[in-house]
Amino acid sequence: MAVRQKPVEEQVIVITGASSGIGLATAHAFRSRGVKGLVLVARNEEALRSIAEELSGGRTCAIAVTADVSRREDLERVARTAIDTFGGFDTWVNDAAVALYGNVAEIPIEDQRQLFEVNYWGVVNGSMIAADHLRHRGGTIVNVGSVLSERAMILQTQYSASKHAVKAFTDGLRMELESQEAPVAVTLVKPSSIDTPYVEHARNYLDRETAVPPPAYDPHLVAKAIVFAAEHRRREITIGLSGWVIGAMGKVAPRLVDKAMEWTGHGSQTTDHPERPGMRDNLYQAREDGDIYSSLPGEPRKTSLLLEAQLHPFVSAAILAGIAAGVAALFVAPLMGARRPRRPPRRRPVPRYQRTVRHSGNGHDKRVLGPGHVSQRSAREGRPQLRH
């Protein structure tokens, strides 16, 4: 059965982790498209209700559902609320996540388990609940992973491990739904470093404030990818060339990337800039929310050519082909012309009457031009000698 995806304007969207960062940017992006309904999910009830009120209006109705994604019963309540309010949902976005910074040996196992309860089991429970509903009506499941799904980052080992697990689960779920001919698209979105309160929400075991490795990208780019996936079937979408390169290099030269991270990992993931203490450490309970961006200085990158190439592959291929043809015309053709061997000068054709040459055989070795030819001898030459 073919995957069925409605236009965004006709959809009801469930978004976990909707109270800040990528989730909040995604809610705004769907609202700007005039989506029918938004079901916003997070632990911070006060912030979530304020956001829902802000996004409601026009064609869009937004509702807030306070829930902890680490508890399956909370996510089941989210699905029931969406069905009772809108008659169902069409896209489910698993975005909620928590983070830990520190050396593996210094982080308690309890904290590591809690991270997996949110980052992995929250995605598993949300995806399974969504799949049960969507297999009868069609739709999309979007799981927000990371470029760290491909390559572990030093000092974020547990987070990297959880995103590896999310990728594996997403791939397995996609195959099973396809084999069952369920009309459900499953997309994994893999952001690079994104400028969100992620770093301020993290539980930190380092000696300095935390940061993401540069360059940081704008969270609205991730939101753009998620909105696109809601109505276009894509296996994976990566945001940020820098993160993609690290993942690719990790496969080609893993030891080199290991060493690079060992040398730069601490400096690239810490800062002396004071962060908002009210946001710090939401591992077990909600903290201050409501912002899309972090408080770190510097402007994030607003564009990603890699993202555009994935969203519009045929246009990108045509542009690249045109660029390649232009380069060939400018450089290759003159070069080939300079290397072309010079032709030898063309010889004039020999007249037919000069092509047959006979020798007289009389020892004089004179040129004779065949019978019937009128001799051009001068009078002094006299008659020809008789042959002996």
- Annotated active-site positions, please? 159
Pairing of strands 184-191, 209-210: unpaired
Note the Cα 192 to chain centre separation in Å. 10
Bridge partners of 270, per DSSP, are 210
Rounded CA separation 254/151 (Å): 9
| Residue pair 23/93 in contact by the 8 Å Cβ criterion | yes
Distances (CA, A) of 205 to 108, 113, 117, 258: 10, 16, 20, 21
Distances (CA, A) of 72 to 43, 109, 171, 284: 14, 22, 21, 16
Q: Is 47 helix (H, G, I), strand (E, B) or coil?
A: helix
Rounded CA separation 252/168 (Å): 21
Nearest to 252 by CA among 347, 332, 150, 167: 150
Note the Cα 91 to chain centre separation in Å. 20
- What contacts 219, CB < 8 A, 6 or more positions away? 21, 22, 24, 25, 194, 195, 196, 292, 293, 300
- What contacts 14, CB < 8 A, 6 or more positions away? 39, 41, 78, 79, 82, 89, 91, 92, 93, 130
